[in-house]
Amino acid sequence: MDELSLIIGVVVGALTIFGYLKGFFGWIFTKIRDLFLPSDAVQVIPKNTLVLLPKATPNTTWWHMGSVSGQPAMQIVGHFTVTNITKLNILPTLVKMKKPKMLGHVMCRNMDANVYGGFMIPPGGVTDLSYDFWITPPVRNQNEQFKTDIAVVDQFGNEHWVKNVEFPYQ
């Protein structure tokens, strides 16, 4: 029994010393890094950058039959109000659709004009965002409603999902 107590004591002591050494060398590493790198060189990438809300106006979302290279296709269009909740400029880069799985085009309204394009959203900024997809071959018939989950992806690769977005046929 005394041998077991001795072994446990040695293991606990070794782990305690290891913990102190790890903390000490971590502290030393941080101090050295801060000496050679300016504080703004180490940037933490946020996980949540945008809040998306469907626009509360008529025809916010819709789909219609069209064609791509002479083949039937569904054109799917939607609009969100988007808020940048970070202290960084955020660029919406693309949109994703869950089912069918595909990527789409996104355009953001310039904060200073009624012009849409690849514009950054400044910290705390609120603006309009438009997106569209072209699905070939169509997955719905005319006059049927289409429902799916939509994500806006920012320049950091963060996906901001809105579930069960409904697209009536127009």
Q: What is the mean pLDDT of residues 144-153?
A: 95
Which pLDDT score, from 0 to 100, does residue 41 have? 57
Q: What is the mean pLDDT of residues 157-168?
A: 95
Q: What is the mean pLDDT of residues 112-133?
A: 94
Q: Compute the distance between CA of residue 139 and CA of residue 132 in angstroms, rounded to an integer.
A: 15
Lowest-confidence pick of 29-38, 68-77, 99-108, 111-120? 29-38
Which pLDDT score, from 0 to 100, does residue 151 have? 97
Which pLDDT score, from 0 to 100, does residue 76 have? 96
- Residue 94 pLDDT > 70, yes or no? yes
Q: What is the mean pLDDT of residues 70-99?
A: 95
The alpha carbons of the chain give a radius of gyration, in whole angstroms, of: 26
- Residue 1 pLDDT > 70, yes or no? no
For residue 82, what pLDDT band results from cuts at 50, 70 and 90?
A: very high
- 70: tokens are 């002479």
- Residue 141 pLDDT > 80, yes or no? yes
Q: What is the mean pLDDT of residues 128-140?
A: 94
Q: What is the mean pLDDT of residues 90-113?
A: 95
Q: Does residue 45 or residue 86 have the better pLDDT?
A: 86
